[in-house]
Structure 1
């Protein structure tokens, strides 16, 4: 391959655009930085240099994968969440920025209710471990648990915990939703479960539909099955958690909030909107133990 790094970037952007890749320039930049092993600042400083010929084969392979629709995060093998890099594979959902707001809400309520204590928290359906690991890093006194039905996902989460020095502070559970936690006393329950209605999955962006794990997307007929089941499984626990935080899909938050209000376990149930103004998270809080 001849030409400069800048020319390679422009050619790749055009190529990806021709293949209907969303944000072609951004994706080209991410992938080129990855192939060249450069940080963003160094990448821009070296734009006028010749493209290193030894990277040509790898660059062409990466572009072909992206043109076929594969998410850049899976190609790179990484996604940032809450300022930390997380390994991602096709066994886990790619962490989204809006989920950082769920973590913020859980940290805020946990620190308020247990200012000097160590609440026990569990991240249900942990996937890459983004929520559990972030909570363990942000709140090192907390007793963090994480569960997932997928053994492959738990393996990714455990590697991420080790990467960020949190492996010894997270207990791992394999199983379906709250079932592996039967008999435990949880102070905080947090979950970003599958919430896409099954019949709409076929209409999702190809990057999501064809590459992200269906078990992390399919929320049943109306997308709300995991929430129904978790609320129904609360009697499995030693006590109802004082704080529960759920992430939901567009148009789902008010219905789930109404269920939680009707359950009567919590003093306050409120909704947190994401960066796009979508009602994204439901937080339920009981003030007294």
Structure 2
């Protein structure tokens, strides 16, 4: 690019350059790259447009624009993507968080608050659920078991526990870190098959002061035996044969393991339904993100499992059915 005199000229030159190289949203990319190298955002960026372009950032600026022109996503160049009002680190080890996933988090928070208003799960069993004739015996038995476990509660029953939400396919931690930050009374866990992704997610949790239990492993396997109340996942859902036709930003740069959902894109959902047997009981709330045209099939998988008496489909901002939730009322 020729020498530019002002920040506005740099923006215009980069926008034209990126458009000529087939980049999607060239103006938005140019602005994000400028904000990154200048250390400005929001109103401060717009107020600086007439200022002279600082030569001290020229090399970094040109390198960023060149990388973007080659098809690399701007988020990997800047190292950040905003999600639910928070800045998340992103690297090529993780899928870049999408705005539509915010709707999934919003729905999980909403229905989770309905099912557990105080974020606590009442203890099962105990004298309160025993028949009148057996109440005294049940209380005595419950008290003895609680004492053996060192637990306490009304009439000697187990005390309520914080609800447990498990995010399958943690990626950058966008879902799990946001849930932990927005609902601090919850116990939030997250798993991923990629050590690199978990490292990024852990850094994002630390950045936002969110308590998340991260575990390495395939889908539900790291959580075998864990009482799980909420299961949420944005798994790979693109049919393997469709990946070659994706935008180059996605196809050539985002991790394939976070994209490829098998022959029809539904393998992860089927496997998670099968792996529910690893848990002590099915979660009362399940929320999945999915691809275009998959809502009916994923809803069918939930109905066939028979654990949830309410199935909800949520459209994204473009009106595409994007999320399916199962709720056991």
For 1:55, the equivalent position in structure 2 comes to 57
Q: Which whole-Å CA distance do the structure 1 matches of 2:65 and 2:170 have between them? A: 30
Q: CA deviation at 1:2?
A: 3.9
Q: Which whole-Å CA distance do the structure 2 matches of 1:96 and 1:154 have between them? A: 18
Equivalent of residue 189 in structure 2, options 132, 145, 160: 145
1:67 aligned onto 2:69 = yes
Equivalent of residue 251 in structure 2, options 202, 206, 209: 209
Deviation string 1:138-162 (CA, Å, 9 cap, x unpaired) is 0000000000000000000000000
For 2:36, the equivalent position in structure 1 comes to 34
Q: What SS is found at the alignment partner of 1:282?
A: strand
Equivalent of residue 165 in structure 1, options 209, 216, 220: 209
Q: What SS is found at the alignment partner of 1:98?
A: helix
For 1:98, the equivalent position in structure 2 comes to 100
1:238 aligned onto 2:312 = no
For 1:174, the equivalent position in structure 2 comes to 216
Deviation string 1:226-284 (CA, Å, 9 cap, x unpaired) is 00000010001111100010000000011110121121111101111100001000100
Give the alignment of 1:189-204 within 5 angstroms.
189-204=231-246
Give the alignment of 1:73-84 within 5 angstroms.
73-84=75-86
**Residues 250 and 48 of structure 1: is their aligned pair in 2 closer, same or farther, counting only changes over 3 Å?**
same
Q: Which whole-Å CA distance do the structure 1 matches of 2:226 and 2:45 have between them? A: 49
For 2:147, the equivalent position in structure 1 comes to none
Question: Runs of 5+ in structure 2 lacking a partner?
Answer: 121-161
Give the alignment of 1:246-265 within 5 angstroms.
246-265=288-307
Q: Which whole-Å CA distance do the structure 2 matches of 1:264 and 1:69 have between them? A: 44
Q: Which whole-Å CA distance do the structure 2 matches of 1:5 and 1:41 have between them? A: 14
Q: CA deviation at 1:23?
A: 1.1
**34-43 or 67-76, which moves further after superposition?**
34-43
Aligned length: 285
Q: What SS is found at the alignment partner of 1:6?
A: helix
Equivalent of residue 169 in structure 2, options 125, 129, 136: 125
Pairwise CA RMSD: 0.7
Q: Which whole-Å CA distance do the structure 1 matches of 2:212 and 2:40 have between them? A: 32
For 2:199, the equivalent position in structure 1 comes to 155
CA contact (8 A) 1:79 1:95 kept: yes
Q: Which whole-Å CA distance do the structure 2 matches of 1:42 and 1:80 have between them? A: 18
CA contact (8 A) 1:133 1:161 kept: yes
Q: Which whole-Å CA distance do the structure 2 matches of 1:214 and 1:36 have between them? A: 32
Q: CA deviation at 1:26?
A: 1.0
Instruction: Give the TM-score normalised by the residue count of structure 1.
Output: 0.97
Question: Runs of 5+ in structure 1 lacking a partner?
Answer: none
Q: Which whole-Å CA distance do the structure 2 matches of 1:259 and 1:123 have between them? A: 19
CA contact (8 A) 1:93 1:216 kept: yes
Q: Which whole-Å CA distance do the structure 2 matches of 1:240 and 1:95 have between them? A: 27
Deviation string 1:68-117 (CA, Å, 9 cap, x unpaired) is 00000110000000000000000000000000010011001110111122
1:269 aligned onto 2:325 = no
CA contact (8 A) 1:2 1:53 kept: no
Q: What SS is found at the alignment partner of 2:63?
A: helix
